[in-house]
Structure 1
Amino acid sequence: MTLLTFRFAPSPNGALHLGHAYSALLNRELARQAGGRLLLRIEDIDIARSTPPFEAAILRDLEWLGIEWETPVRRQSEHFADYHAALDRLIAQGVVYPAFLSRGDIRAVIADSGRAATWPRDPDGAPLYPTGERELSTRERRRRVDDGQPFAWRLNVDAAREQAGKDLAWEEFTDETLSTVRQVEARPQDWGDVIVARRDIPTSYHLAVVVDDALQGVSHVVRGKDLYLATSVQRLLQQLLGLPRPRYLHHRLILGPDGRKLSKSLRDTGLAALRESGMAPAGVKALVGL
């Protein structure tokens, strides 16, 4: 019998806060109830912002909470070859293209279009990437690359959807008891031609996470509601790469006193500060409603 496998996957670019604690504790509890596995993955592809001290702090916070995980820990920065292999498959399938526009270039294209007020935007509110480069010839793309023009690999979402077929739904649990699932139809087109590999590293969050989940045998992805809509892009990549599809639960978010989502960048109360103030792990569980 295959064990159910859960994972907690923080990024070491800041201190863990109560929202992270809730997600880690919930994954731990669901894995325990299922008699399954809990993995820890360090998502450090952002090598400019991820640091060993932040990773060490994450491990201390999780140990303080009493969370145990299987070893070894998977660090994304140690597995760029896996992501590069997946990217090569997408290139061979003809569903990605080198995209040369900078942020300033994108703004200029939108302004010149005369449609700035009506330009389509993704679920996060960012303007969709202009699709003109899809039509560049192979010769022109090669010339630009050989000239040293910086580029990222972007997904041609229309070509990708056509190649992937119609079966792009995923199974979403309706509550945290994991007793009922519903089918959710993926809408990757809402995100436009997303980046699948950046200029400085051979991957992106979307590509790395689906490769990692497949290689680690993750059966249940339990994470915050803020990533619910992004699942559409990941489901498309799973289909293109022939990867297994996990089941998903996008749990409630822990909000601050002003009703906003907790954030590392806004320096919301971190677990280390709570620990240093004398709070016990049981107090953290009470704060997040467990």
Structure 2
Amino acid sequence: MARRSLLWIVSLAALIFAYMLVARAISRPDIVPPAEDIAGAFAALVGRGQQSPASDMPGMDMPAHHHHSSDQVDTLLQEGVTLQASLAVTTARVLFGLIVGLPLGMLMGLLMGWSRRADDYLHPIYVLVRSVPPLSLITYIMLWLGHSEAHRLIPIVYAVAVTAVIPTYHGVRDVAGKYVVAARSLGASGRLLLTKVVLPAAAPAVLGGLRYSVAIAWMTAVGAEMLMAENGMGNLLVGGGMWSSRLQTRSDPAVIIVGILVLAGAGWAMDLAARAWSARLTRWAR
């Protein structure tokens, strides 16, 4: 474990060093900002929440919380956008999508994997439905429910559910026949066979799909926020780049990179949590 942690640290350090070399070689801070600009943007977007009230008083010159007087950072702060608040909003949406979408997808996968007849009816529908990009649902949801949180949450639930179907389906369908035969010879059938034999045997495959669902939830949540949201990490990313066309201000790549790095870290942390939870529930399978 210690050796693996050391390799992680060395890899990250090498990546940071390589970025610094590239930024220095290209010398285009409007595209590849130096590391100090990225650190400054991070400090500004985080430190706003701890800013002293005295900094807003006339005549009080407090230390600046933003880097190189970025118009985009100033605009984000004026809008009340902070990094921690944006991350909290997106994380809440991701968790909602997982809590609602996973049971739906697993239930459909279980039904299709357990019943041949259900598979015959539902599989063609599933193949058709999974071909629809989650973000394409946003405008249609708005026609039904208006401009509300629903058109940001439903695509996440949809994406998670669709992703969870296949691991569950194959986990149930591919249970070793010898387990089923042995259970039937002992008198197990129906619900008992499903709950005591099939589901435990399929659990590693089903829970293995949890990590894919987590990744899909993050991607869909940020995409939905970039299209139609006034908060969250997607909104912060848009504020760091695309607002320049609306407000006639210079885009700030440092803000965009900060958002990308924070999303990568948050997704990695949730993936670790999902992996640990899955391993704990399937200790017997190792």
Question: What's the TM-score once normalised by structure 1's chain length?
Answer: 0.27
User: Which one has the largest radius of gyration?
Assistant: 2
Question: What's the TM-score once normalised by structure 2's chain length?
Answer: 0.28
